[in-house]
Amino acid sequence: MKNLQKEYSNLIFRNSKDSISVNIDSTKVPEISPTKRIEIPTTHSSSPTENRRVEIVDFAQKYLGTPYLYGSTNPEFGFDCSGFINYVYQHFGYVVPRSTKEFFNFGKEVSIENVQKGDLLIFNGTDLDSPEIGPIGIVINPKGKNSDFIHSSSGKANGVTITSLSEPHYTARFVKAISVIE
């Protein structure tokens, strides 16, 4: 203890036999007693929802490169587009549809300019004349119409990949953005 006191003497101030105060960034924190717990305020002010959004995006990115496999929600074999979304969100306790079609009337619609990490982007299928819903992706870098999203693609990438909404192939097929995170 004496060695630690010497090493950190500029941070620790003994107030009494059983308590100390700690100097953090030149701000003296209230007395700490071994029998009394206090909350020390931090400069990080993320809400639980913001933290959850980051956790979802971080978790989804662990599966980059996982192959595309139609009908699958299993990362050991691969994912189809809605299987990937289903797997990621269910990991966090969200009950979401299994098929892309069911996402059209699911969640809360948000404007593309207000998307946040963890929101979902919904697209038409490859036939632009058909109203059928196709791919779906998770926003990882919200930048309005230039947002980046992660999804399981059956196209050229043939697996979990990151794409920009600004790519013409996706811009032309974009239907809407939704949020399922409260």
> 45 pLDDT band (50/70/90 cuts)?
low
pLDDT for the residue 14 = 39
- What tokens appear for 174 in the block? 């974009």
> 33 pLDDT band (50/70/90 cuts)?
very low
Residue 60 placed within a domain: yes
pLDDT for the residue 24 = 41
> 127 pLDDT band (50/70/90 cuts)?
confident
- Tell whether the model's pLDDT for residue 1 goes beyond 60: no
pLDDT for the residue 2 = 45
- For the chain, how many structural domains are there in total? 1
Residue 30 placed within a domain: no
Q: Which residues constitute the domain of residue 131?
A: 48-179
Residue 43 placed within a domain: no
Residue 56 placed within a domain: yes
pLDDT for the residue 7 = 45
Query: Global pTM?
Result: 0.73
Residue 117 placed within a domain: yes
Q: Which of 54, 9, 46 is nearest to 20 (CA)?
A: 9
- CATH number of the domain where residue 145 is located: 3.90.1720.10
pLDDT for the residue 125 = 84
Residue 10 placed within a domain: no
Q: Which long-range contacts (CB under 8 A, 24 or more apart) does 58-62 make?
A: 59/88, 59/91, 59/92, 60/84, 60/88, 60/138, 60/140, 60/150, 60/160, 61/140, 61/150, 61/162
* 139-156: pLDDT as tens digits: 999 999 999 999 999 888
